[in-house]
Each structure stands twice: as C-alpha cells, then as structure tokens.
Copies of this chain bind each other. A is one copy, B any other.
C-alpha cells in the first residue's frame, strides 16, 4: 500500500482516462517535459478487456495555467480523453448521518485538525441525535426527519438542503435510509456509502445478525460508491477483522464499528487525494 498523505502543494496533479493506444505515456510525458515538469510519480492502469487507459501523474512544481496544460495534453490524446489538471486539492464533503456517531466523529476530528484534504461543509441527519456533537466543531447541522413524510418528500427536502452547499462528495456516514434511484441519479458518482459488511456477503439489513447466525470467523466493512443497485456500487476500500465464537451480535456490531470507521476514513482520504478513478462497476485505486 502506498502512503496517501502528501498533499499537492507545489505539485501538479494530472488525471487522464481514455481509449488505450501505443504511445500514450510517451505523448503525455513529452508534453510534461516540454513544460519542464518533472514526474514524481506516475501510476497507470490498462484495462485490456475494455481497452481503456488510466493514469495519475504527479509532477514537481505547481504549473500555473491549468487550462493551457490541459489543452496541450488534449492535443496528443484520443478525442474522448477525460483530462483533469489539479482538480481542487481540498475536497468539499456533505455528511449524512442517522444516529451512530463513530464515523462522523472520526471525520469531524480529522477536519478539525486538518489532517486530510477533505472539508466538511455540513452534516445532515434524519434524527437530531448528533447535532450537539457536530456543534462542538462549528459545522452546520441540519435535521430533516423522514417521519411523517413520504419517501419522495423526504428526499426532496434532503436534496434541497444538500444543494445549499458546494460539494465534491456526499458521504453516507451510517445514514440508515435506503435511497431511491432518483436520489442516486441526482448525485451520480458523488455518493459514497459505508456498508457494515464485507460485500458481497450479507447484503442488506442486519449483516451482523446474519454473520453471527452463520458463525463467520471474519467480519468486515466496505466503502463504495452508491448506484441504483442496493450495496452494489463500485467498491473503494474494504477491510476485515477476525472474530470468534465468543462474539455476540452486539460484540460484532462494536467490532464492526471500528472497521467501518477506519474503512470510510481511508476512502475519504483516497478520494480527497484523487487516487480513485471509476471504471464502470469497479474502481481503480492508485494507493
């Protein structure tokens, strides 16, 4: 695993995905050399089946004119290439919660001490439970209760509230409402969920109860992008922990929370450093 802590100060970050072809690395690196940009790290991946090329390049020195560099790269790449030069190096996030604090607390502490490149814009809960904790960190908290509302009305209020903010990602930090396809479509590729199991095992509700009944020896958690398919979106990070016959369901939940917190935290860090690229139903993670 690579370190994921170097912020992009005095560096130029370039992300490209396009159809694969001979000479892409040459074309890209020629362009960079032309601008006297020295490559510090270049990580690329070729999906041979899909004939697609992905690359993440970090160069020494902050190149002043992003548009110029982007255009120069576009000239030497296939027409459909997606090019990003220095995407915002601090990601803005909106965090959705229900009642559980473990993921939110981790996010707010890191935010407070600025230990990563993510900036919480607001926390939105369908209960008021986590308001006072969020207040400590001087982050806006909005409660939008799902009670007495149709799913449609609830989601519309939620969407309206979210749209009050500028954001790169919406983090579902133990947000316990199933979202409609419409909601998901509204925020395509921006919704990141922490699922309380090692997907694809134990899809759906009560995974720890399922895990306990099954007598598993390992439990896990999965951070993934949200798509229409419940718990089926592209996986970003997974991790596990050994358990044994002594674990009650409650013990599994407690142990699971530690994994959930760590996995979501890692996913947000990777996203904030632009190390995650989407490749259809999967992710490429340049750790």
Q: Mark A200-229, 1 if CB is under 8 A from B, else 0.
A: 111000000000011111101000000000
Q: Which residues of B contact A213 (CB under 8 A)?
A: 281
Q: Which residues of B contact A234 (CB under 8 A)?
A: 215
Are B37 and A22 closer than 8 Å at their CB atoms? yes
Contact A200 B214, CB 8 Å, known A246-B45, A282-B245: yes
Interface status of A2 (Cβ within 8 A of chain B): yes
Which of chain A's residues 144-171 have a Cβ closer than 8 Å to chain B? none
Q: Mark A84-115, 1 if CB is under 8 A from B, else 0.
A: 00000000000000000110011001001101
Interface status of A173 (Cβ within 8 A of chain B): no
Are B42 and A279 closer than 8 Å at their CB atoms? no
- Give the docked Cα–Cα distance between A44 and B205 (Å): 32
Are A30 and B26 closer than 8 Å at their CB atoms? yes
- Give the docked Cα–Cα distance between A262 and B259 (Å): 11
Interface status of A230 (Cβ within 8 A of chain B): no
Q: Which residues of B contact A48 (CB under 8 A)?
A: 40
- Give the docked Cα–Cα distance between A1 and B242 (Å): 7
Are A214 and B240 closer than 8 Å at their CB atoms? no
Interface status of A82 (Cβ within 8 A of chain B): no
Contact A44 B44, CB 8 Å, known A200-B214, A201-B201, A240-B218: no
Interface status of A68 (Cβ within 8 A of chain B): no
Are A26 and B22 closer than 8 Å at their CB atoms? no
Are B235 and A215 closer than 8 Å at their CB atoms? yes
Q: Mark A8-45, 1 if CB is under 8 A from B, else 0.
A: 00000000000011111111011011001111111111
* 12 pairs, A vs B, C-beta closer than 8 Å: A1-B242, A3-B255, A5-B254, A26-B30, A27-B33, A39-B46, A45-B246, A102-B113, A198-B198, A201-B201, A218-B238, A245-B283
Interfacial residues, chain A to chain B (CB-CB below 8 A): 1-3, 5-6, 20-27, 29-30, 32-33, 36-46, 48, 101-102, 105-106, 109, 112-113, 115, 133, 136-137, 198-202, 213-218, 220, 234-240, 242-248, 250-252, 254-255, 258, 262, 279, 281-285, 287
Known pairs A26-B30, A136-B137; list 18 more (Cβ under 8 Å).
A1-B1, A1-B244, A2-B244, A2-B246, A3-B252, A5-B251, A29-B30, A41-B46, A112-B133, A201-B201, A214-B235, A214-B282, A215-B283, A216-B238, A218-B220, A218-B240, A240-B240, A244-B287
